[in-house]
Each structure stands twice: as C-alpha cells, then as structure tokens.
Amino acid sequence: MKLAKYYLSPGNRSAQLETAGSLGASWVQFGNELLLYTDENQWTGLVGRAAQRTLPLQEYPTTVNRENMYLVVQKGRLFQQEHPEVPVIVDHGRFLLVELDPKQAQQIEVGNLPCFTLRPLEDNQIVFKVSERTDAAAPVASIQNLVNQVSRASLEADLTQLVSYPTRFSTSTHYANAATWAQGRLAAMNYSTQLQSITVNGSTSQNVIADKLGSGMGERDIVLVTAHLDSINHKDGPLAISPGADDNGSGSAGLLQMANVLQNHSSQHDLRFVLFGGEEQGLFGSQQFVAHLSASEQQRIRAVVNMDMIGCLNGPSPSVLLEGAPISQNVMEGLQAAATTYTQLDVQTSLNPYDSDHVPFIQNGIPAVLTIEGADGANDGVHSIRDTIDRINYDLALEILRMNVAFVAISSSG
C-alpha cells in the first residue's frame, strides 16, 4: 500500500471529507487527519485526482502491506512503552495506526494486561471525530448556577488526599482505606452510601456506592456517575508506589466534586455515584456491579457518565474525548451540547468503546459514555510512579467537570 495524509481544515470538514472520500482510495479518519491508502499501481491515478481537486496530500515515505496495518487504542503511552520496536504510522495519543506482522500481533495480544487493544484496521472508518463548534444554546440559569459551583479548591483537596495513599492497588489495605475515606466524604454530603464487596483475581476489594433519590412521583430513572478509584504500578508490582493522580485520582476526585455540587440539586430522577475497584486488573468492579443489577434496575439507567483520566492536558487547548457506542449516542450528544453551552472544551467523539468502566454497561445495553482528556499528544506517566499530582492541569479537569455536572443535572431533571 502507498499511504498519504491529508489534513481537514476546521469549518469545511464535511465537504473536504466528501471530496477526499471520492478519490477512490481507502481511508481512515483520526480527528482532523485523514489517511488515504491504495495499491501502488493505483497511486498515480489517486495523486492526479487529488491535484485536480486541489487536495494537498502528504505522501508517507515507505509502503506498507495491507495486512500489516493495525489500529491500537492505548491508555497513556502504554503500547508504545511496551513495544517501542513497532513502527507507528499515525500517532494520535490514545489512537495509533501501526505496522505489525499478524503473527507478531497475535504474540503481543497474548498475556497483555488491559493497557491497550490491537485490531486489524478496517477500511473506511472513523476512529474519532473532532466536532465543529456549532452555535451554542443559551445557558439555563439553574444549570449555570450548578456549573459555577464546581470548585478548584475542593477538587485539589480531594485529589491531594487520594494521592497521599502510597498506592490504591485494589486488594491492598491502602485501597480499603481510600474507599472508606471516599465513602465518608459521600456520607457527609448526605448521600446514602454502601461498600459493595467485589472479587479481584480471588482477593477482596470494594466498590463505593452513593445514592440520592429523586423527587419525581412514580417510576423514576437513574443517572449514574462513575470512576475507578484504584491505581496500579505495572512496572514495579502490586506493592510499589502508585500515586495514580491522573489515572484515576482525577476522575475519583472529580466524582466527589460532582457529588458535592449535585447534593442539593432537586432532580426528578435518582442519582447514583459509584467508585469502582479492580478496574486496572480488568474491569472487575464495574463488571460485578452490572452483574448485580436486576433487570428492572438496568432498565432504569438512562445514562452513565464515566470519568477515567480527566486531568492531563495533552495538546495546546483543553479538549475532551467522549467515547461510547451507538447505544450511547443520546448521552454523547447531551454531553456535547453541555460542553458547547457551559465550557470552552473542544470535543472529540469515538464509537470504539475500550477498556474502562463504561464497557460492561455498554455490553449490557446500558447507555454509557467515557469522558477522558483529549486524545492528542503524550501522557506517558500512566500506571507508573510518575503519574503524580504536579502533572494535573486543574483548568482542564474543571472544564470536563462543568460539562458533566451540566449534563447530569439536565439529564436527571426530567
């Protein structure tokens, strides 16, 4: 295959996409970057057609066998750190296009901890989109009032507490202490709380659950806010220091912040906040949480907003990736609308749900969306001793929280 990149310019993306799509090459879209590829004998024709339509293509220097093109979705930089030998063709942080022999790909997949996924590239697919900032709807005063209550000071205080545990490895006593502390925080906000016992690779851990009943008469839905409380240090082992400031102190402190802001919000529907254990070992907490839901409870869940890494700024401007599946399209659209009205965030969207606590919900037909710091760039500290609080960008975390608070307040209202 011969490959070429093409950059879509903001404001005119859909027309450019259509033109690029009509060139007769296969394509894959990563935000504003489109990669076109074609057999070598078709190449001259493609270049000629692109020139006619004045699309400036940037040719990739080498050719690649079609069966060697793989899509990687990684946490932080974990795939690249574990496999520096694999050539990267397109690099968008969380999303990569790499060149891999299928046999080598199989070997890599065996015994891999849940740090990345690897799949053969499908033709003509959108890996993630960057949304155009459309005209924002006017803010609603009561929602704006809640959004304004998102507080840097209390977010910082909670995150400082969370990183003070040497580790939050799910089956450690430090984790149990962190869970008890978080439960106490939620109870002090007048939520009814419980610890749900879970099993992680044969040992015990806990989910922390906090509920607030809605004021609606009759049948009520539930809106869930979730984050994983545990941390991990892959390189140095279970007992090693693992501050997990971004992954996922940021989402956990963010959940406490949302609970704090929404404690006096008189919603029609029920609100439930859940901090999961066992995420880093393979989504144990969220899987067991979903498995314990009755069929009627599952049906009552109108939205799940999951936060996993909301605190590292990986590009020039604050951005968020909304990751869901077709079943969560409404939630994604609601979050996007909230971002446009109540924040300055650039929003990226992806329908490739992967490896965080939104996935067990989606697999059970429940509309869940992951909100995570923007996909571009380099977060190379995840799952290591270097995931420290000094790397946190509070402005970004606060913007993502404003979006989530607005969405949850609107979604639970009526």
- Which residues would be at the binding site for Zn ion (CB under 5 A)? 247-248, 308
Nearest approach, Cβ of residue 387 and Zn ion (Å): 10
- Please say which residue, 334 or 381, places its beta carbon nearer to Zn ion: 381
CB nearer Zn ion, residue 248 or residue 349: 248
For 58, half-sphere exposure in the C-beta direction (CA atoms, 13 angstrom radius) is 9
Q: At closest approach, how far in Å is the CB of 99 from Zn ion? A: 27
Exposed, middle or buried: residue 219 (CB in 10 Å: 0-12, 13-18, 19+)? exposed
Backbone angles phi, psi at 374, to 5 degrees: -50, 145
The alpha carbon torsion through 220, 328, 131, 339 (nearest 10 deg) reads 30
Calpha distance 259→239 (Å, rounded)? 31
Q: Which residues pair with 59 in a beta bridge?
A: 4
Nearer to Zn ion, 93 or 334 (CB): 93
The residue among 6 and 361 lying less far from Zn ion, judged by its C-beta, is 361
C-beta of residue 340 within 8 angstroms of C-beta of residue 137? yes
User: How far, in Å, CA of 129 to CA of 321, rounded?
Assistant: 9
Of 158 and 308, the one with the shorter C-beta distance to Zn ion is: 308
Virtual CA dihedral for 70, 72, 77, 81, nearest 10 degrees?
A: -40
Shortest spacing between CB 173 and Zn ion, in angstroms:
21
Q: How far is the CB of 230 from Zn ion (least distance, A)?
A: 8
- Kindly tell me which of 247 and 346 has the beta carbon lying closer to Zn ion: 247
Q: Which of 187, 307, 258, 292 is nearest to 412 (CA)?
A: 258
* Residue with Cβ nearer Zn ion (334 or 377): 377
DSSP, res 21: H
Shortest distance, CB of residue 252 to Zn ion, whole angstroms?
A: 10
Of 183, 188, 268, residue with least CA distance to 229:
183
- Give the nearest distance from C-beta 117 to Zn ion in angstroms: 14
Distance of closest approach, residue 312 Cβ to Zn ion, in angstroms: 12
